[in-house]
Amino acid sequence: MDLSFTPEEESFRDEVRSFFRDKLPARLSTLVREGKRLRKADMEEWHAILNERGWLANHWPGQWGGPGWSVIQRFIFDNESALAHAPRVVPFGVNMLGPVLIKYGSEEQKKHWLPRILDGSDWWCQGYSEPGAGSDLAGLKTTAVRNGDVYVVNGQKTWTTLGQHADMIFCLVRTDATAKKQEGISFLLIDMKSPGIEVRPITLIDGEQEVNEVFFTDVEVPVANLVGEENMGWTYAKYLLTYERTNIAGVGFSIASFERLKEVAQSQKKGGRALADDPLFAARMARVEIDLANMQTTNLRVLAAVAGGGAPGAESSMLKIKGTEIRQEITALTRRAYGSYAAPYIPEALEAGWNGEDVGPEDAAMAAPSYFNNRKLSIFGGSNEIQKNIISKAILGL
Ligand SMILES: Cc1cc2nc3c(=O)[nH]c(=O)nc-3n(C[C@H](O)[C@H](O)[C@H](O)COP(=O)(O)OP(=O)(O)OC[C@H]3O[C@@H](n4cnc5c(N)ncnc54)[C@H](O)[C@@H]3O)c2cc1C
């Protein structure tokens, strides 16, 4: 199998590299490289720069504003983006809702919502999980009862990432309580400013407000905001999740953070020699490097399979498991590499411009928060145990 890029792909990579060199603000790439917190305005700034270049929704069809790239071009772009320490595109509108609307939305919905995702008019969040309905998502209880031209929504969502910034939430709601649980679910687009919505923050171990609870009390939602058909939401929900999982794999991110780990392991000394030369540490690093190389190939295979416009299937579960294991192992090794320097927890160090007392090498203060924060990777988007169940059914036929 020839995995080298063609001359055209090489020149595309050069074009992408010069774009990052010229257009990615140094302030943003420094924040990302140093593991600092990004504000809403930072994320919006990068979103706008990508959109202006026409490279924001790079997997959407040209008709709706995509650049018409091949899967290889997308792969190259994602890798270069991570290597340049560009902020991650907030995925909810561009990567999750966009593909669902393009496949299942009405023409009116596409014309209304897709341009607003691109120009950043609407910040979206994801209303899937509920207390008691995470892995068993089809057990969700939030109801939407039709009353003339509106649905009246009551219930609660939880773990809603960045919901505190959101203008809109796409929600799975129960529209038929009598049907089999997967068959009574619908996919609704809800304005976060609607009367009856309350957002409560969940503060994480690193002090960050990354996730929220969202409560709905008699919230009226226009029937025009139903995507596709009533009670068919489970089909759309699953389609969206395959995109979510493929994105969580984060190969480019792993490549960039592994490069950094190699530098740290070279610079840290143990008993007079570089940590990178310690056989046990070197063996763990070698395993990650091999897994990462395999992961890149698998990612390309999955992308090639969707080149014809199809959706990634259960293969996205494979990518999710392996990709998140690699990402977690890299953060674990980085934390170990910094040793005692990674021990003090300094919340202020996560803020841009922190200039406090030095505790070891430059980014050591971020090693522990990054390690703990990334435990989430094997939970969200469907936990890794659930992905194994999916693989055993869909791929192994068990
Ligand atoms: C940081 C973070 C951000 C998130 N963001 C969002 C968001 O924006 N929107 C959203 O809707 N949701 C979000 N989630 C929710 C996420 O999708 C759920 O946490 C996830 O699906 C797991 O559900 P649960 O937390 O209810 O755990 P449970 O379903 O209660 O699972 C608990 C444990 O039991 C295991 N388990 C459960 N069932 C099985 C089984 N059948 N076989 C084997 N093992 C099983 C699980 O793997 C897990 O280890 C987020 C979660 C986190 C941590």
Please report the pLDDT score of residue 38 as a whole number. 92
- pLDDT tens profile 357-374: 666 776 788 888 889 889
Q: What is the DSSP string of 55-84?
A: -TTTTS-GGGT-----HHHHHHHHHHHHHT
Phi-psi region of 271 (alpha: psi -120 to 50; beta: other; left: phi over 0): left
**Selected catalytic residue, list 130, 210, 244, 329:** 244
CATH architecture of 250-396: Up-down Bundle (1.20)
- How far apart CA 127 and CA 214 sit, in angstroms, is 8
Please report the pLDDT score of residue 252 as a whole number. 86
- How far is the centre of ligand 1, averaged over its atoms, from the C-alpha of 320 (Å)? 14
Ligand 1 pocket test, pick from 213, 379, 393 with the greatest ligand atom count within 8 Å of Cβ, gives 379
Q: Mean pLDDT lowest for which of 169-183, 226-240, 326-340, 343-357?
A: 343-357
Phi-psi region of 343 (alpha: psi -120 to 50; beta: other; left: phi over 0): alpha
Q: Count CB neighbours of 190 within 10 A.
A: 26
42 vs 341, residue with greater confidence: 42
Q: Could you tell me the pLDDT band of residue 32, with boundaries at 50, 70 and 90?
A: very high
**CATH number of the domain located at residue range(s) 124-231 in this protein:** 2.40.110.10
- How far is the centre of ligand 1, averaged over its atoms, from the C-alpha of 193 (Å)? 27
Question: Phi and psi for 372 in degrees, rounded to 5?
Answer: -70, -40
| Residue ranges covered by each domain of the chain | 7-118, 124-231, 250-396
- Mean of the pLDDT values across residues 220-238? 97
Q: Could you tell me the pLDDT band of residue 311, with boundaries at 50, 70 and 90?
A: low
Q: Say whether pLDDT at 383 is over 60.
A: yes
What are 342's two structure tokens?
A: 């990674």
359 CB less than 6 Å from ligand 1? Answer: no
344 vs 119, residue with greater confidence: 119
Q: Say whether pLDDT at 223 is over 70.
A: yes
Q: Say whether pLDDT at 200 is over 60.
A: yes
Cβ contact 112:97 at 8 Å: no
Which sign does the torsion angle of CA 131, 134, 139, 145 carry? positive
- How far apart CA 207 and CA 188 sit, in angstroms, is 31
- How far apart CA 262 and CA 291 sit, in angstroms, is 15
382 CB less than 6 Å from ligand 1? Answer: yes
Please report the pLDDT score of residue 94 as a whole number. 96
Whether 244 is catalytic is: yes
The amino acid at 252? G
Please report the pLDDT score of residue 395 as a whole number. 79
What are 132's two structure tokens?
A: 């008691």
Please report the pLDDT score of residue 201 as a whole number. 96
Looking at every residue in the chain, the average pLDDT score rounds to 91
Q: Could you tell me the pLDDT band of residue 309, with boundaries at 50, 70 and 90?
A: low
Q: Say whether pLDDT at 2 is over 60.
A: no
Q: Which of 123, 332, 366, 114 is nearest to 227 (CA)?
A: 114
- Mean of the pLDDT values across residues 290-312? 78
389 CB less than 6 Å from ligand 1? Answer: yes
- How far apart CA 320 and CA 373 sit, in angstroms, is 17
- CA-closest residue to ligand 1 atom 25: 134
Ligand 1 pocket test, pick from 90, 97, 126, 129 with the greatest ligand atom count within 8 Å of Cβ, gives 129
Q: Could you tell me the pLDDT band of residue 305, with boundaries at 50, 70 and 90?
A: confident
345 vs 364, residue with greater confidence: 364
- How far is the centre of ligand 1, averaged over its atoms, from the C-alpha of 224 (Å)? 30
Tell me if 124-231 shares its fold with 250-396: no
- pLDDT tens profile 103-151: 999 999 999 999 999 999 999 999 999 999 999 999 999 999 999 999 9
159 CB less than 6 Å from ligand 1? Answer: yes
Q: Which of 310, 334, 190, 189 is nearest to 257 (CA)?
A: 334
Ligand 1 pocket test, pick from 124, 135, 187, 206 with the greatest ligand atom count within 8 Å of Cβ, gives 135
- Mean of the pLDDT values across residues 59-69? 94
Per CATH, the homologous superfamily of domain 7-118 is Acyl-CoA dehydrogenase/oxidase, N-terminal domain (1.10.540.10)
Q: Could you tell me the pLDDT band of residue 15, with boundaries at 50, 70 and 90?
A: very high
Please report the pLDDT score of residue 388 as a whole number. 94
Express as a percent the part of the chain with pLDDT over 90.
69
- How far is the centre of ligand 1, averaged over its atoms, from the C-alpha of 204 (Å)? 16
- Mean of the pLDDT values across residues 307-312? 64
